[in-house]
Structure 1
Amino acid sequence: MSDLPLPFLCLLFALAAAVVWRAGTVLSRTTDRLDEAFGWGEAIGGMVLLAIVTNLPEIAITASASLQGRVEVAIGNLLGGVAIQTVVLVALDFAARREGAPLSALAGSPQLKLEAALVVAMLGLVLLGHVWESPPQVAGLSVPGLLIVAAWFAALLGMRRLSRPQATPADAANATPPRARPGLRRCLLHFAIASLATLVAGVALELSGDAIAEDLGMSGAVFAATILAAATAIPEVASGLESIRLRRWQLAMSDIFGGNAFLPVLLVLAALLSGQAVLPQLGGSDLYLGALGLLLTLCYLAGMARRDARRRLGVGVDSLCVLALYALGIAGLAAMSP
């Protein structure tokens, strides 16, 4: 794709972004409907359905790069995605500014706190897997890799126990009226079509963005942490804004935390497909981005624990801290990149 002219690449990038944006709004609406139909609860719907589907481009890129033996591409994209997707919550917080209280206070629940803690634990296991020299292998996977998968499934079970069959009273009162929603079969069809559109357009988005950065001569590490990571976060932005419009605060935050918790699992997929030990191959910029994502998540975990009802500049104090830390983090990454 790098052989294509730059104007064509920019047009392809814009078209793919538009498709992903539209698909993201459909995914949020249909996930909300499926939550109600099956009684999963917003946190489960966000962590499992919405989080995995909006990360379909990452799954495709990880599989393709790993089968080609280019695991460094998968690593940089996945760890860079955790940080930028956490910053998406700043935009969602600002979008809900008319509600008075910050998003973390509106949506803070035991399920969301568990999801945020899971993100911290998963990133911690990734860092542990890097520094653990020659860890034991079980069925072709290292012990840290197995712990990553086990932690994710254990969190799903914990979430299921904490979730309720119906939305919280506050969400039920704030939710928009049904307004002739489609039937369940049509809803499932719309969900499947939007998922496929997210996959195809998301891959086109990443490939065209990669080619644009190559033409512009951008640093690989900075590009992965900014432009490419922002491109892969478009599904989360679209679905999150639609969740905010529907006043589904938990669904909006759970999509982000659930997706960030799922991304380290894809490192295990990369190890299986490539036949290589992926975690020991983490570079300095990868470790840097992983630590940055961990710090940003801790900001929102603290915000949900404090439940501060004040806003500053339209967002919560936790969102301001996240924005400042991310700006400093990217500046530091640019300084350390060749």
Structure 2
Amino acid sequence: MPDLTALGLPAALALFLAASLLVLGAGVHLTRLADRLADMTGWGEAIVGGVILGAVTSLSGGVTSVSAAAGGHAELAVSNAVGGIAAQTVFLVVADWSYRRVNLEHAAASLPNMINGVTLIAMLAIPLLARQVAPATFWGIHPASFMLFAVYAGSIALARRSREQPMWRPLRTRETREDVPDDEDSGRSPWRVAAMVAVLGLLVGGAGYVIAQTGLVIASRTDLSEGIVGTLLTSVATSTPELVTTVAAVRRGALTLAFGGIVGGNTFDVLFTAFADLAYPGSIYHAMTGEQVFVILLTIVMTTVLLLGLIQRERHGLANIGFESVLLLLLYCGGMTLLLGGAVTGG
């Protein structure tokens, strides 16, 4: 892959914008393909949204984190991963506002989405636990990375089992939108659709490399730290497919897919830290600074609020969004203000 770190700031900004637009454009087509794949395979919108759609739309962010870690830039790698999770959680506020009929968390409540939310909190806590113990690696990989992969794989199996043999269901109301397969696509071969998703994934991944390289240039040519660039620039740029696919899914009436694509995709995004650890020379968890720890803790609080919204299932609230959406906006804006203001300290 070409080294773009020698570019000047204007050229880097132009490439950064072009790659971001490519990622955004790919996201426009992914929702329709994922919805069809859910119907063709019978896996359901929550699982396809959380695993396939979440993974593909996250490829650019994963490539950004891994390429940054391979170059020894741990701050950018981790900030991009956890900053993207926080930004994507706020995207649900946009989706909630765009669905005018009722609060999104009320209509899209499902057991797989609840499982994804709980799993996300557990996975976010693992890097913090790893950071508090003495660094130890096996074949250059920290044991926490193996734990992240194991928890993620276990959550997928649990979510699928809960769909096939549910032991808990949300109360069905007039506004509840259940995942009902489209008879037009059911039974057809999913391989062509899967191939199209894979091609879009490759484009998104390549754009992620460009975003990582140009992000390093922006950090080195300005007064912004790699942590700030990762949290507020590269993570948001690589997360734009999630915004597009979520709003598009809401407009298609695929509410479970919209919610699952964000929350399930967020659990996949935590794996960026594990992938970055594979590429980083040493334990990436012990290279985290106070900025990355702050964003992880903020995201845990935000995910908890989101789960409370799923449990409470408020029908309507301020500006036709639920109380959880209002709190998510306040938490994210407040946290980013503290981060930019230099109020976050700690090594």
Give the TM-score range, shorter chain.
0.7 to 0.9
Deviations 1:171-211 (A, max 9, x none): 457x88969xx974542332122112211223333433443
AA of the residue aligned to 1:83: A
Query: How far apart are the structure 2 equivalents of 1:140 and 1:6?
Result: 34
Q: CA deviation at 1:336?
A: 2.6
1:206-245 paired onto structure 2 within 5 Å: 206-212=212-218, 214-245=220-251
1:170 to 2:171 alignment? no
1:307 counterpart = 2:310: no
Which whole-Å CA distance do the structure 1 matches of 2:209 and 2:305 have between them?
31
Indicate if the aligned counterparts of 1:115 and 1:257 stay in contact, CA closer than 8 A: yes
TM superposition score normalised by structure 2: 0.86
> Kindly tell me: are residues 127 and 32 of structure 1, through their superposed partners in 2, closer, same or farther at Cα, counting changes over 3 Å?
same
Aligned residue among 325, 329, 343 for 1:336: 343
Q: How far 1:275 moved relative to its partner?
A: 4.5
In structure 2, the partner of 1:103 is: 104
Q: Distance in 1 between matches of 2:7 and 2:282?
A: 32
Deviation at 1:337, TM superposition (A): 5.7
**Cα pair 1:222 1:337 within 8 Å, conserved:** no
Distance 1:46 1:172, change over 3 A: closer
Can you give the 5+ residue segments of structure 2 that lack an aligned partner in the other structure? Answer: 166-171
Q: Deviations over 1:76-131 (max 9, x none)?
A: 211222211111111111121x22x2111111111111101111111111211111
Identity of aligned residues (%): 27
Q: Specify which of 20, 25, 28 is matched with residue 22 of structure 1.
A: 25
Letter in 2 for 1:314: N
Answer whether contact 1:43 1:163 (CA < 8 A) is retained: no
C-alpha separation between the residues in 2 aligned to 1:139 and 1:209? 29
Q: Corresponding residue for 2:168?
A: none
Alignment match of 2:75 (pick from 72, 76, 90): 72
Q: How does 1:243-322 map to 2 (within 5 A)?
A: 243-322=249-328
Q: Which has the higher helix share?
A: 1
In 1, the alpha carbon distance for the partners of 2:210 and 2:227 equals 20
CA distance in 1, matches of 2:279, 2:215: 24
What stretches of structure 1 of length at least 5 have no aligned partner? none
Equivalent positions of 1:77-92 (< 5 A) are: 77-92=80-95
1:255 CA displacement: 1.3
Displacement after TM superposition at 1:329 (Å): 0.8
Rate the CA distance shift 1:62–1:93 in 2: closer, same or farther, 3 A. Answer: same
Supply the distance in 2 between the matched residues of 1:220 and 1:282 (Cα, whole angstroms). 11
Query: How much is the aligned-residue C-alpha RMSD, in angstroms?
Result: 2.8
Structure 1 residue 287, shift from structure 2 partner: 0.5
Q: CA deviation at 1:3?
A: 4.7
> Quick check: 1:50 aligned with 2:57?
no
Q: In the alignment, is residue 63 of structure 1 matched against residue 63 of structure 2?
A: no
Give yes or no for contact 2:8–2:217 (8 Å, CA) kept in 1: no
What does the per-residue CA deviation read over 1:127-172, in whole Å, with 9 as the maximum and x for residues that have no partner? 111112356x66664443332222111111101101259xx98345
Please tell me the residue identity of whatever aligns with 1:158: L
Cα distance in 2 for partners of 1:273, 1:6 equals: 26
Separation in 1, partners of 2:95, 2:241: 13
Q: Distance in 2 between matches of 1:132 and 1:287?
A: 15
Distance 1:285 1:178, change over 3 A: same
Structure 2 Cα separation of the partners of residues 93 and 170 of structure 1? 14
